[in-house]
Amino acid sequence: MKTLNAEPSPNVARTDPARTAAPAPRRKVPRNRTVWLIVSALALFAACVLSICIGGQPSSLQEAWHAVFTPTGDVMDVTVRELRWPRTVLGISAGICLGLAGTLVQGHTRNPVADPGLLGINQGAALAIVAATALAGDLPALTQAALAFAGALVASVLVFMIGSAARYGATPVTLVLAGAAVTALCSGLVAGIVLLNDQALDTLRFWQVGSLAGRTGVLELVWPFIAAGVVLALLNIRALNALALGSDAAVSLGISVLRARAVGIGAVTLLAGTAVTLAGPIAFAGLLVPHITRAITGPDYRWLVPLSLFTGATVVLLADTAGRLIARPGELSVAVVLAVVGAPFFVYLARRRRLATL
């Protein structure tokens, strides 16, 4: 007869609750995203002040305030109102476009090293400019801006049409492959035209130096496209959060994948095409900004998209201001400064043990 208090068999391993209990998960410190949003807005304001005050002849805060709000027509007033203030507004607009476009491209392609140029936007703009120059001769700056926007629009629409023609529609893989094909085609055509036309080569060489200088009068033409692109980006937030879980999960959540891709690519087309029109092909801004904002807010696009708007403008303005400081009394292009800063950043990103996936 077995007793209830009998010792367990020696072959049965004894369980120690203290040893076998699963370790308590580490509690993550929640990010106060609202605070970061306020901080990014303040950083943008500080970048604007620096952009207005720093130049070939620096101005104090009092002089800048006087020039903006109570001008009397002296030399510093004219410098701030006619040169630095329009340039600052242009930098804010281009930074907003590049930051949002880079975030949307990386979200839709699920590629952490994607940028708006992946959709052939830069090369499409370049092809339109050099082709028109080869046919019609030297063109005014506003005409070049209009051609750049048209070329960027056509190239991105072509990429989306090719990517959507695949069996499973516009997937991240088909979009990347279509973008690579259109970029290669436009690059080849640009190279062929500039080899046969010296004037087209000079125009391309000037346009490819992305800069905020000498771009007056362009913003007045393209601001409706910026507004439309920002609205589409905000409307695309819910779909991006669902697509981050995969296409099947997005469909189960009631998201139309094709419609979401169309809205996202439409926003990227408007924003990146406008950025190219405003400041030329500024590299690395569309790559840097999404990683900076993602490190602050995490992968939630409800916060990632608004923060990338502020961060993009701040990054472009700071790079432009640094270019004026480094090469005083001349200046370095904002594209050069961003490339010098961005290249080491992506070397670091590539050497990380756990590369961020989207």
Lowest-confidence region among 31-35, 118-122, 134-138, 307-311: 31-35
Q: What is the average pLDDT across 130-155?
A: 84
User: What is the predicted pLDDT for the residue at 19?
Assistant: 42
Residue environment code for 34-46, b if the CB has 16+ CB neighbours within 10 A, otherwise e: eebbeebbebbee
Closest CA to 337 of 348, 327, 323, 324: 323
Q: What is the CATH number of the domain that holds 81?
A: 1.10.3470.10
CA 235, 296, 336, 214 torsion-angle sign: positive
> Does some domain include residue 16?
no
pTM, to two decimals: 0.81
For the cut 60, the answer to whether the pLDDT of residue 142 exceeds it is yes
> Does some domain include residue 23?
no
User: What is the predicted pLDDT for the residue at 46?
Assistant: 94
User: What is the predicted pLDDT for the residue at 11?
Assistant: 46
| DSSP conformational letter for 242 | H
Q: Domain limits at 207?
A: 33-51+58-64+72-351
Closest CA to 48 of 82, 99, 93, 79: 93
**More reliable by pLDDT, 71 or 96:** 96
> Does some domain include residue 157?
yes
> Does some domain include residue 15?
no
For the cut 60, the answer to whether the pLDDT of residue 21 exceeds it is no
> Does some domain include residue 10?
no
Lowest-confidence region among 21-30, 190-199, 341-350: 21-30
CB-facing half-sphere around the CA of 53: CA atoms within 13 A: 15
Residue environment code for 234-270, b if the CB has 16+ CB neighbours within 10 A, otherwise e: bebbbbbbbbbeebeebeeeebebeebbbbbbbbbbb
Q: How confident is the model at residue 6 (pLDDT cuts 50, 70, 90)?
A: very low
Query: How big is the chain, counted in residues?
Result: 358
Peptide bond into 224 cis (omega under 30): no
Closest CA to 80 of 119, 125, 49, 41: 49
Q: How confident is the model at residue 99 (pLDDT cuts 50, 70, 90)?
A: very high
User: What is the predicted pLDDT for the residue at 208?
Assistant: 76
User: What is the predicted pLDDT for the residue at 31?
Assistant: 55
User: What is the predicted pLDDT for the residue at 169?
Assistant: 65
The pair of structure tokens assigned to 298 is: 């995490």
**292: enclosing H helix or E strand:** helix 285-297
Q: What is the average pLDDT across 39-57?
A: 90
Mean pLDDT for the chain overall? 81
> Does some domain include residue 101?
yes
The pair of structure tokens assigned to 115 is: 């940028």
> Does some domain include residue 24?
no
Check: CB of residue 87 under 8 Å from CB of residue 333: no
> Does some domain include residue 225?
yes
Q: How confident is the model at residue 24 (pLDDT cuts 50, 70, 90)?
A: very low
Q: Which of 166-180, 210-224, 245-259 has the highest mean pLDDT?
A: 245-259
- How many domains does the chain fold into? 1
Closest CA to 187 of 270, 120, 134: 120
